[in-house]
Amino acid sequence: MLAWGAYVAGVRGERLVGAVAAERDRGDFLLHGPVVSTDDGPDDPLEVAAQLLAAALDHATALGATTVFARPQGLDRVWVRFGFIPVPEVTLPAPLAARTGVGLYAWRGGSALWTLREAAAN
């Protein structure tokens, strides 16, 4: 499990404006988020989402991630920017597959140069 938050300074102190979390099965991670508030939040929510994703990927890599999965959530530009590619639902490991969602992206070390045969063999 990993989690990151984004905060902004305000009159009454810091306020949480975004978050991303992930659950793990061996070397595979499934991201939940990033989610960024647009109510009195940052001027560029997509940039905050990208910063949260960068931190989550660095953290997952340090924890030994081989593949990081994510749901689209309308953040296609962010996923592509970090090297995620669309993959079939069957590539998601069984312990992480019970989560509902439409569409799936995957990332491997910043490179989209891998085949789905590896996932089928696991």
At 91, which CATH number?
3.40.630.30
Q: What's the rounded mean pLDDT across residues 54-63?
A: 95
> What's this model's pTM, rounded to 2 decimal places?
0.84
pLDDT of amino acid 121:
52
Domain with 89, as residue range(s), is 2-121
Domains contained in the chain, number = 1
- Percent of the chain, pLDDT > 90? 60
Between the alpha carbon of residue 101 and those of residues 22, 27, 33, the distances in Å are 15, 21, 12
Q: Assign 112 a pLDDT band (cuts: 50, 70, 90).
A: very low
Residue 51 has which token pair? Answer: 């910063």
**Contact yes or no for 68/107 (Cβ under 8 A):** yes
Residue 57, CA atoms < 13 Å, CB-side half-sphere: 22
Give every CB contact of residue 46 below 8 A, 6+ residues apart in sequence: 36, 75, 77, 78
Amino acid 108: pLDDT: 86
